[in-house]
Amino acid sequence: MIKIAVDVMSGERSPDSLVLGALEAIKEYNIDIILVGDQHIIQHALKRYPYDKTRVEIVPSTQVIGMNESPTQAIKEKPDASILVAMKLMRDGKTDAIVSPGNTGATLAAAFMKLGRLKGVSRPAILAKFPTATYKYTTVLDVGAIPECKPIHLVQFAVMGDVYVSKVYDIKNPKIALISNGEEETKGTEITQKAYKILKKLPLNFVGYIEGRNVYDGSIDVAVCDGFTGNVLLKATEGMGITIYNLLKTEIRKSIIAQASALLMFNVFKQLKKKMDYQEYGGAQLLGVNGVCIKTHGSSTSKDIKNGIKVAVKAVENNVNKLIIEKLKEYDLNKFNWHFWGEEDLE
Amino acid sequence: MIKIAVDVMSGERSPDSLVLGALEAIKEYNIDIILVGDQHIIQHALKRYPYDKTRVEIVPSTQVIGMNESPTQAIKEKPDASILVAMKLMRDGKTDAIVSPGNTGATLAAAFMKLGRLKGVSRPAILAKFPTATYKYTTVLDVGAIPECKPIHLVQFAVMGDVYVSKVYDIKNPKIALISNGEEETKGTEITQKAYKILKKLPLNFVGYIEGRNVYDGSIDVAVCDGFTGNVLLKATEGMGITIYNLLKTEIRKSIIAQASALLMFNVFKQLKKKMDYQEYGGAQLLGVNGVCIKTHGSSTSKDIKNGIKVAVKAVENNVNKLIIEKLKEYDLNKFNWHFWGEEDLE
């Protein structure tokens, strides 16, 4: 039986609704749940809903890391924080996965500290789903774990993204690309160029460089970049969404007819806002740490927690981490000469 | 009298409309014009419009670099290309500025080859205006000239951006920021961190790091980054705009009421599209080359060429390049220890 630990304390919403999301997931995905957090708050919440008592366990924690706390400092000062307690359960094999709506930096730091890296992975990555004009999403990694990457990190991100997207999103032979400042092979930095040359040699569906615009056009499945670029892109996407929404509002206010029409288009705008809100896409896994950690957005509702659990179950059922280790072993990236300068050095 | 050379051949539209834009600028800005391109085509276009013959000169060129040609190769193979002929006029002091709607890479390469760098500038930069939800724009540089930057390049970009935005867009004491993966001083890469420390010491209105989202919220005037990040951001902005437009269309098509309402909101969508189209914001200067080169977008209309000429006139009248040289001399960036690691090394 798959067991999922949910950190119900670290989100922006009340633990009540997060507990509800976890309880709803029990039946839907046939799993056991560990609720991590303030015992009294959790027990109080549990009284409000019917649930199967044999499938729920409470693991108490007395501290919480807030959204705006400095990750490294908070982790030092709050050893009993819910996210750290959850990570310890993962480390000790008492849960198969963790779902948390908390501070991304703290979640990453806690995972790194308690779980360490997955065998063969040099650096972990944070993965995020970006909206496109089609029904697909584009998975981008890294969006902020590692601001400065070496070529081998980018190649490992591609391998991890390939496994994750195939197994968790059921995309067969996903198209993988490197984000760059142009599509030609001569573009990019020294780092992306080296990663490009190695990626061409691996048995991945690597399609080469893409530009920033292609992240949103549905032409690829996995976009790989360093955490600096990925974070700027993630935040820019969020900012653009808000800006366009505000511009629409401003323009609409200029005319009575537009105002009336906009009312009739309420659903259209609601859908658009939902589609553009990067926080809506459910949980994103921290890839490359020795455990399954799904980070849902800070203002997660019960539904978001349930979605996060769904992603966690898929990652566990499909042995995503085991597959990543196997693939990295199979590709044996160390056999390549990472100090090459010309094509000939690669052989 | 200010004289502006217009490359009327390199755009996606007919040279006719570009000639018209140039002719209209003569009266409006009280300038002389040099039209660079195929003599017969230009003469044919000139027959269609009334203009003051004493203020227009034709400088013939027999070749054109296309939008999709490789810049370096095209420049080698087409020595009489209109953009190269225009650059030679600039180099030889026969014009005060160049306006061209051509291939950005080719324009940059031609400028670099024929004009060289401005005194004190290590690397040129391409500047672009980004839309915000307010009436302001955010000026970002570099958006693609130099993918890999050293700290001193970023600092020079900030100095150039400060002068440009003050003088050409009349923004007093512009707010300058470095784009990063977080607002805290500890974020960024080794390169942005060094640039940050030096920028704090210069007499600029430097506000520190911003995240990708702040590019669109109107909170700052100049955002500095390397050409890799800037290009990804520029293309992402373009891609997001197109995606949101297409999403809106798709959602609207789902309902008859929404379709009818959307018709009534035609102007709203038109304004939104215009605001989000990064190509609409007139010309962007190549900063840091020894001349004034305004690059308008590829599908420039007569109006866009006129706007580009307006920007060129402002840059010339306000001695932007001379001021950049003076500021760089005044700030004497070489006095800093660029190899420092800690705060104490800076003094």
Q: Do A271 and B251 touch (CB under 8 A)?
A: yes
Residue pair B143/B127 in contact by the 8 Å Cβ criterion: yes
CA distances from B135 to A194, B141, B220, B238 (A): 42, 20, 12, 19
Q: Which residues of B touch A257 (CB under 8 A)?
A: 264-265
Rounded CA-CA distance A72/B43 in Å is 69
Largest CA distance in chain A: 68
Token digits for B56?
């227009």
Rounded CA-CA distance B37/B63 in Å is 8
B280 falls in which pLDDT band (50, 70, 90)? low
Q: Give residue B245's pLDDT.
A: 78
Rounded CA-CA distance B111/B71 in Å is 12
How far is the alpha carbon of A329 from chain B, nearest alpha carbon, in Å?
30
Q: Give residue A346's pLDDT.
A: 46
Q: Give residue A299's pLDDT.
A: 83
CA atoms within 13 A on the CB side of B25: 31
Rounded CA-CA distance B195/A79 in Å is 36
CA A281 to chain centre: 9
Residue pair A198/A155 in contact by the 8 Å Cβ criterion: yes
Residues A184-217: tens digit of each pLDDT: 888 999 999 999 999 999 999 999 999 999 999 9
Q: What is the dihedral of CA B323, B328, B331, B334, to 10 degrees?
A: -170
Residue pair A153/A146 in contact by the 8 Å Cβ criterion: yes
Rounded CA-CA distance B310/B306 in Å is 6
A345 falls in which pLDDT band (50, 70, 90)? very low
Q: Is the dihedral of CA A44, A48, A49, A50 positive or negative?
A: positive
How far is the alpha carbon of B181 from chain A, nearest alpha carbon, in Å?
5
User: Could you tell me what percent of chain A has a pLDDT over 70?
Assistant: 93
Rounded CA-CA distance A157/A107 in Å is 19
Could you tell me the pTM of the whole model?
0.90
Amino acid occupying residue A136? K
Q: Give residue A281's pLDDT.
A: 56
Amino acid occupying residue B239? G
Q: Tokens 């530009």, residue?
A: A211
Amino acid occupying residue A205? N
Q: Tokens 């999301």, residue?
A: A21
Q: Is the dihedral of CA A182, A185, A189, A195 positive or negative?
A: positive
Choosing among B69, B245, B248, B272, which should be mutated to test the A contact, i.e. which has the most A CBs within 10 A? B248
Three-class DSSP category at A183: coil
Q: Is the dihedral of CA A197, A200, A201, A204 positive or negative?
A: positive
Residues B21-66: tens digit of each pLDDT: 999 999 999 999 999 999 999 999 999 999 999 999 999 999 999 9
User: DSSP character for B63?
Assistant: B
Residue B346 has pLDDT above 60, yes or no: no
Rounded CA-CA distance B74/B63 in Å is 10
Residue B242 has pLDDT above 60, yes or no: yes
Residue B294 has pLDDT above 90, yes or no: yes
Q: Give residue B199's pLDDT.
A: 97
Residues B164-203: tens digit of each pLDDT: 999 999 999 999 999 999 888 889 999 999 999 999 999 9
Give the mean pLDDT of chain A: 90
B10 falls in which pLDDT band (50, 70, 90)? very high
Rounded CA-CA distance A309/A295 in Å is 10
Residue pair B258/A271 in contact by the 8 Å Cβ criterion: no
Q: Do A236 and B215 touch (CB under 8 A)?
A: yes
Q: Which residues of B touch A212 (CB under 8 A)?
A: 231-239
Residues A233-292: tens digit of each pLDDT: 999 988 888 887 787 777 777 777 777 777 776 677 777 766 666 555 556 789 999 999
Interface contacts A/B by beta carbons within 8 Å: 203
Task: Enumerate the β-bridge partners of residue A294.
Answer: A99, A285
The alpha helices in chain B, defined as continuous H runs, are: 15-29, 39-46, 71-77, 82-91, 104-114, 151-168, 190-201, 227-253, 256-264, 266-276, 302-317, 320-331
- For residue B179, give the chain A residue with the closest CA: A232
Rounded CA-CA distance A319/A307 in Å is 18
Interaxial angle between packed helices A256-264 and B256-264, expressed in degrees from 0 to 180 and rounded to the nearest 10? 160
CA distances from A52 to A24, A27, A59, A308, B147 (A): 10, 9, 17, 20, 57
Q: B142: cis peptide before it, omega within 30°? A: yes
Rounded CA-CA distance A196/A158 in Å is 11
Residues B118-144: tens digit of each pLDDT: 999 999 999 998 888 777 889 999 999
Residue B68 has pLDDT above 70, yes or no: yes
Q: Which residues of B touch A237 (CB under 8 A)?
A: 212, 236, 240
Rounded CA-CA distance A25/A34 in Å is 12
Mean pLDDT over B292-312 rounds to 91
Rounded CA-CA distance A127/A129 in Å is 7
Nearest to A235 among B212, B238, B258 (CB): B212
Rounded CA-CA distance B337/B347 in Å is 8
